[in-house]
Amino acid sequence: MKKTDIAMIVLIASVSVLIAFFVTRAAFGGAANEPTEYQTIDRIEPGLGDINPTIFNENAINPAVEVQLAPGNQ
């Protein structure tokens, strides 16, 4: 390759980078200097609080309890 070919490749690459920079800046905008606002939440307290009896029925089936089947009932 000649020196002029390398210089042309460098020039085209430089111009392409500049064009890409300005197109990206136009599409997404620059850095915002506005303050960011966010919502805070209340502190989570330990414990369960009041238990709703319609949801947590004490007579309901507990799926965490292991069930043993008799040898003849499989």
Residue 18 lies in a domain: yes
Residue 13 lies in a domain: yes
Residue 24 lies in a domain: yes
Q: How many domains does the chain have?
A: 1
Residue 68 lies in a domain: no
Residue 21 lies in a domain: yes
**What range does the domain containing 4 cover?**
1-30
This prediction's pTM: 0.41
pLDDT in tens, 15-61: 999 999 999 888 887 667 778 888 998 888 787 777 777 777 777 77
> Which pLDDT score, from 0 to 100, does residue 72 have?
61
* Cα distance between residue 74 and residue 10, in whole Å: 78
Residue 70 lies in a domain: no
CA angle 26, 28, 32 (to 5 degrees): 105
